[in-house]
Amino acid sequence: CKDGKAGKYSTMLYKKLYGIQIGDEPDTHNWVTVIG
């Protein structure tokens, strides 16, 4: 954390994982299970 902001790689990881969670990125490892 620099100046209260996430670093380059933390931000990239967050965006990728969030994209998988909301369906914008492919879930190639079947990490997400749709409930309901």
* Domain membership of residue 4 as a residue range: 1-26
**What total number of domains does the chain contain?**
1
Q: Sign of dihedral through CA atoms 15, 17, 20, 23?
A: negative
List pLDDT tens digits, range 19-35: 999 999 999 999 888 88
Which has the higher per-residue pLDDT, 36 or 26? Answer: 26
Give domain status of residue 36, yes or no: no
**What was the pLDDT predicted at 36?**
86
Q: What is the dihedral sign for C-alpha 27, 17, 31, 22? A: negative
- Confidence band, pLDDT 50/70/90 cuts, at residue 18: very high
3-state SS, residue 5: strand
Q: Is residue 1 part of a domain?
A: yes
Instruction: Grade residue 3 by pLDDT with cuts at 50, 70 and 90.
Output: confident
Q: Is the pLDDT confidence value at 7 over 90? A: yes
